[in-house]
Each structure stands twice: as C-alpha cells, then as structure tokens.
C-alpha cells in the first residue's frame, strides 16, 4: 500500500494518502459471477453482497483520525445502485454514497462518504451491496487519508467595503491547509449566482479538528473524484466556523449540484442531518453567509425562480435534493430548518435600512442650472416602484423618474426647473428596498424616516450661447482634419444643424458629432466622412436654431470659411 504525500500551505501538516486496491477476484459473497476473465463481476440479484478480505490499517503518526472512503468502478445507473459498509475492528459502519458527482460520473464510478476512523484502529473490511441485478463492478479501492493534526487558525474578516451586508469571517484555504493554497486548478470559471444551494457532508457531526476534515474532503474530491478542487464554495463546521471551499473567488463555479452548477453557490454543513438538526452555531453561520450573498446579488430569500442550468424552477435557497434524487442536505434539516433559514436570511438583510449614499447636486447647493437632473445612489437595491411613488418636490413641479439600476435614480424636470427657486426634494418612508425595509432618510442606521434634499436653482439665463473657439477657419486645413467647436455652455439641437459645403454649395457628409461637457466648456467634435478635395474653399455653417438647454438660440447662422491647399503636385505643375 503506497503512500502519497501532499504538502499543506503555511503551518498546517502534510496530507498523507494511502490506497488499497481490492481485486474483485478476492471478494466473497453471493448473487454475483465473475466476468471479463476474472477482471470484473456482475450481480445477479438485488441484495448481492460482496465482502473483502480483512485489511490492516497503515501505520501513521500525528493523525487526528484516518479518513476513509470506498471507490467502486464499473457500470451503474447512478449512485443509488450501491450500499457501502465498512467494518472497522469488528464494528460495522454504514456509509452513504457521495451524491455530489454529476450523473455522467456516477455511471462509471461511485464513491462513499468519508468515514473518520480512530487513528489507532487495527483492521477493516469492505462490504458492498447491490440494489439491483446487472450491476458490473470492475474495481474496488479503499482510500485512507491522514490529514495530520491542525495548527489553530482564526477566521479572517473580509476587508471589502462593497458589500452592504458584511461577509462573515471565513478561514481561508491557506488557513486550513489546502495543498495549493489560494490557487485553483479549475481555471477562471465564474458564474452569476442566482440560487444558494445547501448541502450536508453526510460525515461525522463531531470532530476535534475540523480543518483536518477540510483537508480530507479536498483530498477525496481531487484525488478520488478527479475534480479540480473542492466541490463546495463554503463549508461550515458544527462549531459555526466557516471555511473557504473552492478557490478562485466568491463567484467561482463549484461541483456540488448534480452537474447543474451554473448560477449557484454551494454551502456544505459538515456533518449528517438526516435525523438531527444542525447545531445553533452552524445554523447561525449558515444564515449569515447566505445573507451576505443574497444581499450582494439581490436574491429574494423567500423567492422561487427559474434556474437555467438545471432547467428547473426552484427555491432561491434550496437543498441539494432540488437538483436530483438525493437525501442531502438531510431530512431533519430539510423538513425542520430550511424554511427557517430562509426567514433568518431575510431578517438579517432587513436589519440593513436603505439610505442615500451620494447625491448630485449636493444638499444645500445653489446656482444649479434649471435643466439639471437630481441623481441619487442608494446603498441597497431598491423597490423602484416604491421609490417612484415616494418622490415629491416643494414647491411642486413636474418631473420624470428613471432607474439606471436598482441602486440609482435620476429625477429630471419635465422642461425646466423654475429659476431662482429653492427646491426641497422629499422621499417619504414608503420607499423601500427589495426586501421591504423602509428608507433611512437621516442616516442614523434605522429605517423609517424620510430623505430630504434642498437645492437652489440659478437666476434666469437669457443669453445666447457663445462660441469660444472653432477649427477649422482660414487656410492650411488638411483634407481629413478633425473639426472642433467650443462653447461656453451646454447646448442642444446641434446634430442636424451643423453642415459643411464646398464653394459650389454642394454638401459634404459629416460624421456623428461628439459631445462633451467638463463643467465649464462644451466641446463638439466631428470629421468629414471621406477626404475632401484639395485646392478648394469650404464653408462650415452653424444654424441659428442651435440653442442652450434653457432655449436661448444662437440667433443667426454662423458661417466659417476655410481653404484646403494642394499638398501634392504632379511633376511640372506651376504653382
């Protein structure tokens, strides 16, 4: 039995793996027959039972436990085809199959859950029972993992300020001793998370070393299952500690939802929750990690929506069994706790009240141009209809409301604001975020008070826009020069009112006009569609109807003449 050693990152111990191949020809039992010249067996009845010879545990040191799994290769209809039993020092332990592999993988390989044996165990035997006839088994292998005893590590607090509901502290991959640290062998495959999937590991509910359990799971998922990394995005121990799972970032695609992993984040509760509920500490941490992602992605914790990857409509927070036939995440959790978790997630998110974090113009501003819209940004995604209906102005005026996103609102005057007027914008407490929490207008952290913004508009503007600079004008203009007009204020109605003609009056096609405003100057830029002929005079015309945003027009056509000289000559030309 050869050992494979993988160095853990940082101060955590190395992972040592042993593999014991059990030849099918050495198996005893009933209701099966040898095939393929003794290289495989086929079951002849439901309940066919296969029992291996007694094997000896490898000698280990510094082991908190020996993590064991059974891997069977053959031809199957799915993971439900086999039942595993492990007999350790005469005590029989029933092992559930690992139900996180996709359907294709489960047709050729079935792997048991991990069993955590006492490191001083002496002997073991493997028993495999078939749930139907016609199952072909070609190989049985026992995986034994010594993850080493862990050095104590503390969860790390996320330093990002982008999340409104904070991400709870998490033990990093480097912290729990992943052999490749924060790196991943999965490539940069990310997804837009729409559904949160909860699992249980179907392992032991108690351990003195949960970081070692993480290293064992990593080893099983990569070396035995053949995955590029841990399947789950996050894992939570019964003591409430959250561990980072698959590397690559918060939105990386995992391997946990029956092959339908796109659009999901998978969170695994360490332990078995078929007949007992998870601990209070685990449930608290589960709600917090789900609340963080639900708030970040605008996921309704109580909602049901279409999941394209599985082509199913499922709860936004679902158990693993929503994707395929499986006992995961355990019947006790599924029946008694999952609905409460959804409510807990909503309650956590609702503790955060929406508030305005940026406003333009700023409160108390004066000399605001009468065409200027009010732009507000919220810290949370808003119920846009409630915001729209909560807006009013004093003095009353007409306005339109648009939402570039659920965190932004633009309030524009219909026409113009009145000049020399102090306006007060009010958003009353009927404005709510997508989770129904009312606006925190005064920013004290508690929802339920209105938001006010006061600004004063500029005095009446009766002056026509002024042209500060223009090119081209005069001579020595190239055949494909960029043309530019600089004005003293923002203008409108310009696109069809700038024309170019040659000396005969024939129009020259122009490109679309570029427009920019830096707060002081308006700049228009454009070119001719194609090179203009040399040796001619041209006239650039700005129509009198070009106006500023208040409606003041140029008042008269502005004509600017320029000349494009001949720059290349045929030999012998007299100039």
pLDDT score, position 3: 56
pLDDT score, position 33: 87
Report whether pLDDT(208) > 50: yes
pLDDT band at 5 (very low <50, low <70, confident <90, very high): low
Which listed CATH number (2.60.120.260, 2.160.20.10, 2.120.10.60, 3.40.50.970) goes with 3-146?
2.60.120.260
Q: Residues 399-403: contacts with CB within 8 Å, 24+ apart?
A: none
CATH superfamily placement of domain 173-350: Peptidoglycan recognition protein-like (3.40.80.10)
- Dist. CA 316–CA 452, nearest whole Å: 35
**pTM over 0.85, yes/no:** no
Nearest to residue 71, comparing CAs of 43, 40, 112?
Answer: 112
Give, in degrees to the nearest 5, the angle at Cα 503 between 570 and 526.
90
> Scanning the structure block, which residue is given the tokens 């830096």?
518
Tell me the domain boundaries of the chain: 3-146, 173-350, 356-457, 467-564
- What's the helix, strand, coil split of the chain in %, to 5? 15, 35, 50
pLDDT digits (tens, 9 = 90+) for 45-67: 988 888 999 999 998 889 999 99
What CATH number should be reported for the domain whose range is 356-457? 2.60.40.3710
Which listed CATH number (3.90.1010.10, 3.40.50.620, 1.10.760.10, 2.60.40.1220) goes with 467-564?
2.60.40.1220
Domains 3-146 and 356-457 fall in the same CATH topology: no
pLDDT digits (tens, 9 = 90+) for 380-431: 889 999 999 999 999 999 999 999 999 999 999 999 999 999 999 999 999 9
* Tokens (6 digits) for 524: 């228009």
Query: Do the Cβ atoms of 189 and 255 come closer than 8 Å?
Result: no
What is the strand order of the sheet 422-427 is part of? Answer: 365-368, 451-457, 422-427, 391-394
- Helix residue spans in 298-363 (DSSP H): 331-336, 338-350
């Amino acid at each position: 039995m050869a050992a494979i050693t993988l160095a853990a990152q940082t101060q955590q111990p190395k992972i040592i793996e042993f593999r014991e191949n059990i030849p099918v020809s050495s198996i005893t039992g009933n209701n099966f027959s040898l095939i393929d010249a003794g290289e495989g067996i086929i079951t002849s009845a439901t309940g066919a039972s296969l029992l291996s010879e007694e094997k000896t545990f490898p000698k280990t040191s510094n082991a908190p436990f020996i993590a064991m799994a059974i891997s069977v290769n053959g031809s199957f209809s799915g993971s439900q085809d086999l039942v595993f039993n492990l007999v350790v020092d005469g005590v029989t332990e029933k092992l559930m199959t690992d139900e996180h592999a996709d359907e294709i993988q489960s047709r050729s390989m079935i792997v048991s859950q991990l069993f955590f044996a006492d490191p001083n165990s002496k002997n073991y035997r493997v028993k495999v029972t078939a749930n139907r006839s016609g199952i072909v088994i070609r190989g049985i292998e026992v995986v034994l993992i010594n993850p080493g005893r862990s050095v104590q590590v503390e969860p790390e607090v996320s330093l990002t300020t982008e999340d409104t509901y904070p991400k709870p502290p998490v033990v990093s991959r480097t912290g729990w001793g992943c052999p490749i640290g924060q790196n991943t062998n999965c490539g940069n495959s990310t997804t837009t998370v729409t559904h949160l999937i909860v699992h249980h590991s179907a392992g032991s509910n108690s351990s003195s070393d949960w970081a070692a359990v993480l290293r064992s799971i990593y080893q099983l998922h990569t070396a035995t299952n053949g995955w590029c990394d841990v399947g789950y995005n996050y894992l939570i121990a019964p003591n409430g500690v959250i561990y980072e799972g698959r590397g690559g970032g918060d939105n990386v695609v995992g391997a946990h939802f029956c092959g339908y992993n796109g659009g999901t984040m998978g969170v695994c509760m360490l332990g078995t929750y078929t007949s007992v509920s998870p601990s209070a500490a685990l449930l608290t941490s589960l709600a917090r990690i789900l609340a963080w992602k639900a708030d970040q992605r605008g996921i309704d914790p109580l909602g049901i929506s279409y999941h394209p990857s599985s082509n199913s409509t499922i709860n936004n927070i679902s158990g693993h069994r929503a994707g395929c036939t499986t006992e995961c995440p355990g019947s006790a959790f599924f029946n008694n706790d999952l609905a409460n978790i959804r409510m807990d997630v909503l309650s956590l998110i609702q503790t955060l009240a929406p508030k305005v974090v940026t406003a333009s113009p700023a409160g108390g501003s004066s000399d605001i141009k009468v065409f200027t819209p009010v732009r507000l940004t919220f810290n949370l995604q808003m119920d846009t209809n409630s915001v729209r209906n909560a807006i009013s102005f004093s003095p009353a005026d007409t306005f339109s409301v648009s939402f570039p996103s659920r965190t932004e609102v633009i309030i524009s005057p219909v026409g113009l604001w009145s000049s020399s007027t102090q306006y007060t914008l009010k958003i009353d407490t009927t404005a709510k975020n997508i989770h129904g929490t009312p606006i925190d207008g005064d920013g004290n952290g508690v929802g339920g008070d209105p938001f006010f913004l006061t600004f004063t508009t500029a005095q009446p503007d009766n002056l026509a826009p002024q042209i500060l600079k223009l090119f081209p004008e005069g001579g020595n203009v190239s055949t494909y020069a960029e043309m530019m007009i600089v004005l003293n204020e923002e203008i409108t109605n310009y696109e069809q009112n700038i024309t170019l003609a040659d000396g005969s009056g024939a129009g020259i096609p122009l490109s679309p006009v570029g427009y920019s405003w830096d707060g002081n100057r308006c700049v228009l830029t454009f070119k001719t569609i194609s090179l203009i002929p040399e040796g001619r005079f041209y006239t650039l015309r700005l129509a009198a109807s070009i106006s500023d945003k208040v409606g003041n027009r140029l008042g008269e056509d502005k004509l600017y003449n320029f000349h494009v000289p001949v720059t290349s000559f045929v030999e012998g030309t007299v100039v």
